[in-house]
Each structure stands twice: as structure tokens, then as C-alpha cells.
Amino acid sequence: MSEQRWDRTAGERPRRVVVVGAGMAGVQTAVALREQGFAGPVTLIGAEPHQPYDRPPLSKAVLLGKAEDSAFDVDFEALDITLRLGLDVTGLRAAAHELDTPEGPVPYDVLVLATGAEPLVLPGSEGVPGVHLLRTLDDAERLRPVLERQHDVVVVGAGWIGAEFTTAARAAGCAVTVVEAAGRPLAGTLPAEVAAPMAAWYAESGAALLTGARVARVEPGAVHLTDGRAVPAGAVIVGIGARPATGWLAGSGIALGPDGSVTADSSLRTSLPDVYAVGDCASFPSARYGERLLVHHWDNALQGPRAVAAAVADGLPRTYDPVPYFWSEQFGRFVQYAGHHAGADTLLWRGDPAEAAWTVCWLRAGVLVAVLAVGRPRDLAQGRKLVEAGARIDPVRAADPSVPLRSAVL
């Protein structure tokens, strides 16, 4: 499709939009621009050589060999979106409206940063044979034969990625030991009383969970803990968190937060003119929750680009203040979360956490602010809408799992 087909302003050079990052946030930005009727050239730059792909299947179908890849079903040529893959962006020169790359400068009129996050590396494990991360398609392809050979596996970190990888490794028949420095899984994400029941899921799957266990060093064939124990390891998978991939912006004038995120405003605009930021690399102020949020989840990478694309297409800023949402498939359970529970003053259980299905609701001054649902998708669907609406909830009725959440509204 020619560039002229999209040019609605004869005689004027259309604005050039360049999107850096070809993951979910970047792809959705490019596609949404066309859906919003944007007519100018759109270039999508990705550091990986692969056709743009979705990441959640990497810890599931791709890792287990049930799918070769998870490429997005997008016809970039038909949408007249120029792909530049396998290209590193090394710097941003705002005054010139140019990006630095090994292939020369890339000019832009509007720039969207969608570089995502990069996994944290376990100190001292760099270069040790058999140590893996799970973030990219190449990572999943390197790990696939590890599972096929049913190696003894050590997973460092009992967060979301650690749980999902453990689930896949046990399904493949591997012996798995999970090493977690905190006293429980998901310590940085959920309160102790909510995360505690999830610890039993590891044992049910046949995995060993070692909490309060810190890694002293990793050697080929073993992970050594600070208490002197040595855990046999044919392979080590590190899942200890991620940090926004923004190091390349040093010296650019883009304001970054202490967590490394691009500090976007309520319309996802950065501190530089004509530059937006979306997805895992960007934080934004939430009027709903009264604090700045950094959301490393798929839904944020889907919704934020739509707001940016609409603003670029018609020049009118859109306030972005979503109810964060994510899901995780682990140990035969479908776990969903909507909202943000920091600052909540009341926690309600719906159901018994020892059972297969249960829900937790968080309230602040009687208003539902977050919901965690395990095997109760109806609770999540209704709860998400109630959080969005800022609904006040009757705590007695909300705590009764036989009462639909929407029926607990005051």
C-alpha cells in the first residue's frame, strides 16, 4: 500500500510517527493509529529480528512446544506500517527530532516509546552455563529442550513468572525447586494472608518451594544458598523481576523516575515535546488511586496505545486512568486481578482459600478498589466494572460467595 493512500492532506508532508519497541504496546500503537484514521507514515522499530509477537504464550504453549511462535496476526504491509526489525535504537536527540541507530539517524515528528521492560539478572550468574531468563522468543526456544530433557530445574523467584514457568516445567516432567528470598510467594505483590494459600499450590504440583532462601552463588550444576545448602540444578531459571528498558534514554532529556520508568503525564506524554510513552516502560499518574502507577501487564500495553493513537490522530489529549488488570495461569488455576489495592483499609474473602475457587476484595472507605479472583471469572468481570464505577459495597453481602458481587452494591 502506498504512503499516498493514507495522506489526506494534499500538498503537505504528513507527520511521521516512529514507534520504538515492537512488543504488544508498540504494535498496538501502530495498529491503533490506522484504526483512528492517522494518514502519515508509521514506522515500527524492534530490536529483535523476529516478526512482532505476543509474550504471554512464551511461558505456556511456546515453552512446551505446542506452538512455534506467537506472532501477532497483523498485516503490517496492508496497513502501510514500515517494520524495521533487528535494529537497536541507541539514543534520542530531541532537538533534531532524531533517533540514533547503527544504521544511521531515524527522523520523527511524533515519537512513541514502547520499549517494555527487561528482566533483572541474578548477581553473579552472568555467563554461568545453564542459567536462563524468560522474556523473549529466543529465551523460550533455548528453554524448550531443557524441559524436553527433563532436567532438574531451579527457579529463582516465586513471582508470577516463576509460578508460570514452574507449572510448565512440572507439566513437562521436570523436578523443580523454587528458591524465594522472601517468606512467601508474590511477597512484593500481594499481602501475606492472600499469598500464603498460594504456597500450597507448589507442593500440590510436586514442586519444592524454599522460602526465606537466598542465593549465594550459582555454579554449573548447582545453586548454593547462603545457609550452606546446595540445590542440584541441571538448569536455572531466574525470575526476580523486571525494570523498564530505558537505559538508552540517558542524556536525552526524557524524565525518568527512581524505578527507571519514563514519567509520562496523565495523557502519556513525556517531558519532551512530541514524545509519548506506553506500556511497561512508562509510569503515569492515576487520579483514581492518587499515586503514580507502573503497570507491567499485558492489558496496560493494550489500552495505553489506544489513548495515544487517538491523541496523535486528532491532536486532542486523552486522559489515561485505567483499572489495571492482569491474569496468570498457574498450577491448574486461572488467577485474575483488577484494580490497585495499595491504600485499601478492608480486605474481604469470598470463599475458602483452601478450596479450588475463591476471591478477595479490597475496599477503601467502603469503595471497591481491587479484586483478586481464583477460578471465579464472574467475580472478576463484575468486580472490574464496579471498581471502574467507584462503587460502594456492602461488606457483609460482598463476603458471601453465593451473592453476585454486583448485588452487593449499596
Task: Output the 3-class SS for the chain.
Answer: CCHHHHCCCCCCCCCCEEEECCCHHHHHHHHHHHHCCCCCCEEEEECCCCCCECCHHHHCCCCCCCCCCCECCCCCCCCCEEEEECCCCCEEECCCCEEECCCCCEECCEEEECCCEEECCCCCCCCCCCEECCCCHHHHHHHHHHHHCCCCEEEECCCHHHHHHHHHHHHCCCCEEEEECCCCCCCCCCCHHHHHHHHHHHHHHCCEEEECCCEEEEECEEEEECCCCEEEECEEEECCCEEECCHHHCCCCCCECCCCCEECCCCCECCCCCEEECHHHEEEEECCCCEEEECCCHHHHHHHHHHHHHHHHHCCCCCCCCCCEEEEEECCEEEEEEECCCCCCEEEEECCCCCCCEEEEEEECCEEEEEEEECCHHHHHHHHHHHHHCCEECHHHHCCCCCCHHHHEC
CA dihedral (397, 402, 405, 408) in degrees, to 10, reads -30
pTM over 0.85: yes
pLDDT of residue 12: 59
The span from the CA of 79 to the CA of 33, in Å, is 10
Burial of 275 (0-12, 13-18, 19+ CB in 10 A): buried
pLDDT of residue 66: 73
pLDDT of residue 226: 97
CB 113 within 8 A of CB 276: yes
CB 336 within 8 A of CB 307: no
Domains, the chain, in order of start with CATH, read: 3-118+242-314 (3.50.50.60), 121-238 (3.50.50.60), 332-408 (3.30.390.30)
Q: What is the mean pLDDT of each run of 10 residues along the chain (410 residues)?
A: 35 82 97 96 96 84 75 95 97 96 97 96 90 91 89 95 94 96 93 94 97 96 96 95 96 96 98 97 96 93 96 93 95 96 95 95 97 98 97 96 96
Which cell numbers hold the place of 162?
516463576
pLDDT of residue 11: 44
